[in-house]
Amino acid sequence: MKATKIIRFALLLFFTLLMIRITLPYLSLDTDVKFLKIKQWVIHNPIWKTAFFIHVLSSIFLLIAGFTQFYNPLKKFSILHRAIGKMYIIIIVFISGPASFIMSLYANGGLPSQIAFSLLSILWVFFTIKAWIEIRKRNFVGHSNFMFRSYALTLSALTLRAWKFVIVLIFHPHPMDVYMIVAWLGWIPNLLIAEWLIRNGTAAKILTANKK
């Protein structure tokens, strides 16, 4: 069990640091780097541009915050745990979630991608709000389950890129076809795995183990 816990911790830490590395180039607010090179057709739209930088830069905090909520000694310090959790919820519901929805309306890959990313944004905000409602009712199990689902969608920022890398490496499809595929693959498997872990009791064991 201890080895499994260490592996989970190491994997999540690795992918969190990877996301930080991916995000760092955007700290310059340069509009001609990385992903933005293929978004020049919309980069001059102030609404999209603002939403992009808000979403991308806040994702660093959200990944780290989620990481600390599930896998760290800080869970023993309830005040700090609650403070980080509240910030996670507030940023998703009022800042990053709405920004990601705006971005979804301009997603590469046309209507299929736009629908996929719109659903992702809506469910992300919905699960996070439900987590807040459940903790207000002192329903700790319900709160943990919805936070588990919320963080599974937060991790789509990583899994989307992983799927994109694998698909391009193996199949070499047209770029827009890639976006239509990863727009769905980036988050649906995450949510299905989270649901499976919740229903078979593994999620509860993970959360309980990290309280010890």
Is residue 133 in a domain? yes
What mean pLDDT comes out for the span 27-42?
A: 82
Is residue 35 in a domain? no
pLDDT tens by residue, 171-203: 888 878 888 999 999 999 999 999 998 988 777
Is residue 31 in a domain? no
Least confident stretch, 24-33, 73-82, 92-101: 73-82
- The DSSP line for 58-107 is HHHHHHHHHHHHHSSGGGGSHHHHHHHHHHHHHHIIIIIHHHHHHHHTT-
Nearest to 101 by CA among 112, 92, 90: 92
Type of residue numbered 64: I
Is residue 194 in a domain? yes
Instruction: Give how many domains the chain has, as a whole number.
Output: 1
- Average pLDDT of every residue of the chain: 85
pLDDT at 205: 67
Burial of 103 (0-12, 13-18, 19+ CB in 10 A): buried
Alpha-helical segments (H) within the chain? 2-23, 46-70, 78-91, 97-104, 111-136, 140-154, 156-171, 175-185, 188-199, 202-209
Domain span holding position 13 = 2-22+42-209
Is residue 170 in a domain? yes
pLDDT class of 81 with cuts at 50, 70, 90: confident
Is residue 27 in a domain? no
pLDDT at 182: 94
Structure tokens, 39: 């978004």
Q: pTM for this one?
A: 0.86
Is residue 36 in a domain? no
Q: How far is CA 35 from CA 4, 23, 90, 107, 122, in A?
A: 35, 10, 26, 12, 23
pLDDT tens by residue, 60-77: 788 778 777 665 555 555
Least confident stretch, 7-16, 19-28, 73-82: 73-82
> Percent of the chain scored above 90 by pLDDT?
44
pLDDT at 172: 83
Q: What is the four-CA torsion angle of 183, 200, 204, 153, rounded to 10 degrees?
A: 0
The upper half-sphere exposure of residue 162, i.e. CA atoms within 13 Å in the direction of its Cβ, equals 13
Is residue 32 in a domain? no
Structure tokens, 60: 């660093």
- Yes or no: say if 150 and 97 are a contact pair by the CB < 8 Å rule: no
Highest mean pLDDT among 71-80, 113-122, 148-157, 193-202: 113-122
